Amino acid sequence: MTSLAGTNENDDMLTQPASKYRAFPPVQLPDRQWPNRVLTAPPAWCSVDLRDGNQALAVPMNVSQKLEMFDALVRCGFKEIEVGFPAASNTEFAFIRRLIEDGRIPGDVAIQVLVQAREDLIERTFEALQGAPRAIVHLYNSTSPAQRRIVFGLGKPEILRIATRGTQWVKDRLPRLAGADVRFEYSPESFSATEVEYALEVCEAVSEVWGPTRERPIIFNLPDTVEVAMPNVYADQIEWFIRHLKRRETAIISLHTHNDRGTGVAATELGLLAGADRVEGTLFGNGERTGNLDVVTVAMNLYMNGVHPGLDFSAMNSLRDVYERCTGMIVPPRQPYSGELVFTAFSGSHQDAIRKGLRAWEVSGGESKGAIWDIPYLTIDPSDIGREYREVIRVNSQSGKGGVAYLLESEFGIELPKDLQREFGPIANDEVDRLGREVRATELKAMFWREYVERTAPWRLTSFRTENQDGAVKCRAQLTRDGRPVEAEGQGNGPIAAFVNALSTGGARRFEVISYSEHSLSSGEGASAIAYIQARFADGSTRWGCGVDTNIELASIKAVLSALNRA
């Protein structure tokens, strides 16, 4: 008895897989043209989330969930939406009737329904479509050698007959939908595993029965039902089919790829280069086995190359929320464009490059001046799809000074001098490493405050005042040192110099200020300022100190004490 686990005696990978598996034969197309082409326009899009995507769910969507998903797809701009297989279940049928009877289908949107080439199923399908303003009837039957031999036990002529007979049954029922805009789509299912000559023969026979025109073209959907070869082979199949198809002007060539080899996106993009006009897929790639084509990825790949895809993903996060709520599926955090972490950098070098790139973008005038987006590690501007810059750089134990500096500046307006970034970066990194997790911006600010702003021991300022005398600044300060009061006086060419002089006379360790900067933290009457002081001590060591106060002079004095306390 053979188990479902397989026929390998030891259930191990074979040392000679060629004894069990064979490579799919390439298409003979030595003068292929698709490698030299460039995509300059989007295809027509058809969402199959409500059919292919739905059938792959452990718990299929109910009618209310399908309605919410349908509305989301309409908002994205899909003009063709496969809404179900009405003959497959009462739920599918009821959903389609609800769409039609409630008038939920926009005038420029065509609903697509899937049906096998069986007369009873086609009859039920036409019952479901009564009253639909625009519809695509999608007929299919399998054509590959394995399907012909194993599933149907039929030869090529009989399989071709199934396709043409089903087409005629659809055509015979068109008068029932009088007044509706009805188009016809045919799929030789398992096209990717079918001999291209035979797939073409079947489609030509279907076309003869249907009678398409340039004004009313037929849709030939050529699915990569199961990926059996590299994506360049699929592109060759598409180009070969198109080049040999009679009356190409009366047909729309559609792609429907799956992801068994993990190359569904690549197969679709190469298939478009090969001349296809239309693409079927699901929003985030949900589908049988490893999934359908991820429409978001292909569309956004076009967008990042300057081609508008004709779909709107401006609200990517809310679209992802609708999808996850309706399907019960989760979009992986690293899913291209849509995942939670795809615009997030934890690596220190990446963070530094992104921070510098964003600043350069702002200096250049950004979008308002027509500057070309060229930010390291960011293929598109996250704000184009409703994401925020604060999502871009986040801090964990792998992060560096650049990411720390970016978060403090973007979240709190704390603009650390470069040398201070170099000093605080490792301090923050050690703390994050100790925590063993990502830290929030507020936690990072608290680390900075503890290390610099709140350093009030052993020296603490009680009062400080200055006066100008004969071109010099004199200061008097009252402080405590380890809790004991100290009074100090000094003079210099400014308040900071006078205070440093006063500290030396009051018994503090001697040092000089080698760097100073300050800026406002907020606006308004009670605005605070932050001052940064770098001090160099007699032994050559340096320390940074920071002070915050509504009075900029006091902020700088507190910064001097911060540096002294950290020495």
HSE (CB half, 13 Å, CA atoms) of 116?
8
Other Cβ atoms within 10 Å of 514 Cβ, number: 11
Q: How far apart are CA 477 and CA 506, in angstroms?
A: 10
- Per-residue pLDDT band for 444 (boundaries 50, 70, 90) equals confident
> What are the helix (H) ranges across 181-340?
196-210, 231-244, 264-273, 295-304, 316-327
- Within-domain flag for 29: no
- Contact (CB, 8 A) for 564 and 459: yes
**Percent over 90 (pLDDT), the chain:** 73
Q: Show the domain range for 371.
A: 348-452
- Within-domain flag for 34: no
Task: Kindly state whether residues 146 and 220 are assigned to the same domain.
Answer: yes
* Overall domain count for the chain: 3
- Within-domain flag for 185: yes
Asked whether the predicted pLDDT for residue 221 surpasses 80, the reply is yes
Element (H, E) at 424: helix 418-435
Q: Out of 452, 480, 515, pick the residue that ends a domain.
A: 452
Task: Kindly state whether residues 289 and 355 are assigned to the same domain.
Answer: no
Q: Which residues contact 458 (CB under 8 A, 6 or more apart)?
A: 481, 482, 565
Q: How far apart are CA 85 and CA 72, in angstroms?
A: 20
pLDDT in tens, 307-330: 999 999 999 999 999 999 999 999
Q: How far apart are CA 348 and CA 341, in angstroms?
A: 16
- Within-domain flag for 332: no
Task: Kindly state whether residues 209 and 113 are assigned to the same domain.
Answer: yes
- Per-residue pLDDT band for 2 (boundaries 50, 70, 90) equals very low
Token pair belonging to 248: 């190409």
Task: Kindly state whether residues 401 and 486 are assigned to the same domain.
Answer: no
Q: Out of 417, 452, 487, pick the residue that ends a domain.
A: 452
User: What's the confidence (pLDDT) of residue 522?
Assistant: 66
- Within-domain flag for 511: yes
- Within-domain flag for 398: yes
- Contact (CB, 8 A) for 82 and 46: yes
Task: Kindly state whether residues 466 and 436 are assigned to the same domain.
Answer: no
- Within-domain flag for 6: no
Q: How far apart are CA 57 and CA 325, in angstroms?
A: 13
CATH number at residue 311: 3.20.20.70
User: What's the confidence (pLDDT) of residue 60?
Assistant: 92
**How confident is the model over 37-49, as a mean pLDDT?**
97
User: What's the confidence (pLDDT) of residue 1?
Assistant: 44
- Contact (CB, 8 A) for 518 and 552: yes
Q: How far apart are CA 191 and CA 206, in angstroms?
A: 15
Task: Kindly state whether residues 370 and 416 are assigned to the same domain.
Answer: yes
Task: Kindly state whether residues 377 and 504 are assigned to the same domain.
Answer: no
Q: Out of 415, 433, 452, pick the residue that ends a domain.
A: 452
User: What's the confidence (pLDDT) of residue 124?
Assistant: 97
Task: Kindly state whether residues 499 and 398 are assigned to the same domain.
Answer: no
- Within-domain flag for 85: yes
